[in-house]
A and B are shown apart, each in its own frame.
Chain A
Amino acid sequence: SQTIHQWPATLVQPVGSPLSLECTVEGTSNPNLYWYRQAAGRGLQLLFYSVGIGQISSEVPQNLSASRPQDRQFILSSKKLLLSDSGFYLCAWRRDRNSPLHFGNGTRLTVT
């Protein structure tokens, strides 16, 4: 069976510090991978998605970037965090664009 791992679960970082959140999927190959941010009252916002190694698409301009160095690894980064980057970050995967999304357990990021 397939599993998705996301870490860390919680993170408190000062403004201006770098960020690296990691997500890995097990039990499948060449998954479609996604980063979402969830803010209270605003629903799930798609940040980045990837259909293959090195292929990253951004949905919204922002202070964040994503990379996919390996088939089942997806990383969300920032060089300098802003207060507005605080939120609940979710990684997700799906087998292909006709399949449902499956989410990790998220990272609660607080920028102070």
Chain B
Amino acid sequence: EDQVTQSPEALRLQEGESSSLNCSYTVSGLRGLFWYRQDPGKGPEFLFTLYSAGEEKEKERLKATLTKKESFLHITAPKPEDSATYLCAVQAGYYGGSQGNLIFGKGTKLSVKP
């Protein structure tokens, strides 16, 4: 069964304290891995798509990396405005009847204190 597990569930950092969020997945042929940021009471905001092992994407203080079994979202010198829930999702390589729908993890809630 296709599955996505994110860890930790919650992470508290001091401003400037770099860290990483983990997304482990099992899927029958990965077609794409997606990272989203979600602020309280809002819809998820798309950050990155990764397609193959070894690929990296960067945006400001965020860098996403991908291996054959997991993805990391590295946060360098975070600021309080980086506080949010970060969601990971995978798309299987087969479409079948599900039209390649995304499978989401439960997210990591990040809090950055000044």
> Residues on A close to B: CB < 8 A?
6, 32, 34, 41-44, 46, 49, 51, 57, 59, 90, 92, 97-98, 100-106, 108
Q: A93 → chain B, closest Cβ, in Å? A: 11
- Residue contact B104 to A49, C-beta cutoff 8 Å: no
Q: Which residues of A lie under 8 Å from residue B104 when comparing CB positions?
A: 43-44
Q: B104 → chain A, closest Cβ, in Å? A: 4
Q: B13-21, B40-48, B67-75, B76-84: which lies at the A interface? A: B40-48
Q: A77 → chain B, closest Cβ, in Å? A: 20
**Which A-chain residue is minimally distant from B45 (CB atoms)?**
A103
Q: Which residues of A lie under 8 Å from residue B41 when comparing CB positions?
A: 105-106, 108
CA distance A97 to B31 in the complex (A): 10
- The 0/1 profile, CB within 8 Å of A marked 1, for residues 49-90 of chain B is 100000000000000000000000000000000000001010
Q: Which interface residue of B87, B91, B101, B105 has the most chain A CB atoms within 10 A?
A: B101
CA distance A44 to B99 in the complex (A): 17
CA distance A24 to B66 in the complex (A): 33
Q: Which residues of B lie under 8 Å from residue A105 when comparing CB positions?
A: 41-43
- Residue contact A42 to B106, C-beta cutoff 8 Å: yes
25 A–B contacts from the bound complex (CB under 8 Å)? A6-B43, A32-B99, A41-B106, A43-B87, A43-B105, A43-B107, A46-B101, A57-B99, A59-B98, A92-B43, A97-B95, A97-B99, A98-B31, A98-B100, A100-B49, A101-B46, A101-B89, A102-B46, A103-B36, A103-B44, A103-B45, A103-B46, A105-B41, A106-B42, A106-B43
